[in-house]
A and B are shown apart, each in its own frame.
Chain A
Amino acid sequence: MDIVVCVKRVPTTDTPIKIAADGKSFDPTGVKFELNAYDEFALEQALRIKEQLNAGSVTVVTLGPKAAEKELRDALARGADKAVLLSTEQWVSDSWACAQALHSWLKTVKCDVVLCGKQAVDADNNQLPSRLAAMLGFGCVTEVAKLTLENGTFTAERDIEGAREVLTCKAPAVLSCNKGLNEPRRASLKGIMAAKAKPYSEVPAQLPEPAMAIVSLTLPPARAAGRILGTGADAVPALIAALRNEAKAL
């Protein structure tokens, strides 16, 4: 199976977001970046499928800035065979445009399975995987929390509201990965050395104008300061009174 893993470089989750001068994007000054957390599960699953079948390839692709080479090299060090950067210096928040760019590249490569994180934790769109599947005519299961592969058929489990769905799907398929799917490996020293010799290519992204144009990016209003009602169980009556009479929450 030839597997493509779509990844994104995003600000780390402990980063406070500041608005850039244009009022439409975040200010990257002082921001640390990392591989999107959900993409870690996608990459790990791709490596496990390749190990299970003892055949095929894992190509990791991102739509992102040149600086994303760091995350791609890390993916190579963990075991991916090949990395492709579809380069753009813009912050891409529009999934329609992102899907166009990825799709036009995917058409040029041999691919049986596309693995993605369920969403990138910057724009939090959670729409690229099933959109891409529909464009490719592939089967698709989103938010996969457990996955097995037997005789060419995937069995996937995913959490829905109040239940867990068990699905089957054959390749070609797009699978989007949720937390809990696996325990991602770290790069070994040997892997880091080997990554230096692996194919790495960079092509400009074929990125159209967004379908959802950004008007502005704003910070949410700060919550008004609350108050400490007291210490220990003695404060419970005061809390109940405040929740009933003030907050009207009970």
Chain B
Amino acid sequence: MSNIVVVAEVRAGKLKRPSLEAVAAGLQLAAQNGGKVIAVAVGSGLDAAGADLQKSGAHQVVLIDAPGFANFSGDAYARIVTEQCKKHAPAAVLMAHTAMGKDLLPRVAAALDAGLVTDVVAVGFQGGKFTAQKPVFAGKATLHVQATRSPFLATLRPNNFEAKSGGPATIEKIAAEAGNLLSVVKEVIAAAQDRVPLQEAKVVVAGGRGLKDPEQFKILEGLAAAFGPGVAAVGASRAVVDAGWRPHREQVGQTGKVVSPTLYFAIGISGAIQHLAGMRTARTIVAINKDADAPIFKVADYGIVGDAFEIVPALTKAIAALTASK
């Protein structure tokens, strides 16, 4: 058998979008190696997420639904997922490269004594072997690997595989208990409702030292808000994070986050090599900078030279008008 297990991520009863992309990657591999895609979700109150997974194109959905799994626990989830992997003997196990995926899949890999390639942007199956591509050095280079051990495990970078639909898949519910936990989630403090996570944002509005003052980031927040709720996130260069203007979770680049939004605005960011590494895979890049010679203009699709305090408000007005007309 050459099944593909996809570990789906459910937070507060909601299926996370990158999990649908992981199913799509699983379908691509299944088409090449002839297996079935089995989507496995662990959590509490999984009915809605299970229904979404049934329509994801997966052939089979397995839900492990118990109150003890309401919060993510690396060790408890790993035990359950490992059991499912042993049961279905998959050729490959996939999951999204999210905070949960990064924590969970290495534990499963350890339990299966298997290799794992993380933050993958392309997968394949050639000559009986799984292959993957992943950015290294924060995207300054791409590593191409071939699995030598089985099963093949991978976490997939969000926004790189297009979600599919299909089904409805068969669904199976399995009883389990969380048991003793080595690490316990005490609290999950949600960010402001309207704030979209940087790596999931379709649009990133990033600022740097050119903004001169932490207060000036308000104009970037205004531009981000102009796209409407849940579309744009604010990002920051390392310089302004190190200066304490912005929190680290907003940092784009090496030692921060690597993002691939549809649209990236670099405002007052000169374009240090470690920053470019973190945003060069954005589909469209717009740079706004006073210095016409700033390296950021070498990677930007479109540039405007000039004062951000003059340009950004005008841009915000235009975007807000477009958003309102939609």
Name A's B-contacting residues (CB within 8 A): 11, 13-17, 19, 26, 37-38, 93-96, 99, 121-135, 138-143, 145, 155, 158-170, 173, 178-180, 209-220, 223-233, 235-237, 239-240, 242-244, 247, 249-250
Contacts and interface: CB of A to CB of B under 8 A. Distances in A.
A168 B146 CA distance: 38
A167 B99 CA distance: 14
A152 to B, nearest CB: 14
Nearest to A19: B141
A13 B183 contact: no
Contacts, number: 287
B196 A162 contact: yes
B147 to A, nearest CB: 6
A240 B320 CA distance: 12
A13 B111 CA distance: 33
Contact of A212 (B107, B147, B190, B318): B147
21 contacts: A13-B273, A19-B141, A93-B143, A124-B134, A142-B102, A161-B11, A162-B190, A163-B191, A166-B187, A166-B189, A167-B186, A178-B248, A215-B146, A219-B142, A226-B297, A228-B304, A229-B304, A240-B319, A243-B263, A249-B262, A250-B319
B142 A161 contact: no
A211 B148 contact: yes
A250 B322 contact: yes
Interface string B229-254: 00000000000010000011101001
Interface string B259-285: 000110000000011100000110111
Contacts of B280: 220, 223
Given A130-B103, A227-B303, A243-B302, 6 more contacts: A13-B274, A96-B114, A125-B119, A160-B11, A220-B281, A240-B315
Question: Interface range on chain B: under 10, 10 to 19, 20 to 34, or 35 or more?
Answer: 35 or more
B141 A131 contact: no
A218 B121 CA distance: 14
A132 B306 CA distance: 50
Given A168-B184, A212-B115, A217-B141, A160 B292 contact: no
A212 B140 CA distance: 20
Given A142-B74, A236-B311, A218 B191 contact: no
Nearest to B305: A231
Contacts of B137: 11, 17, 26, 121-122, 124
* Prevailing SS type, chain B contact patch: mixed
Given A179-B255, A226-B297, A215 B285 contact: no
B306 A235 contact: yes
B310 A140 contact: no
Interface string B67-95: 00001101100100000000000000000
Interface string B179-205: 000111111111100011101100000
Contacts of A243: 263, 284, 286, 302
A215 B314 contact: no
A218 B117 contact: no
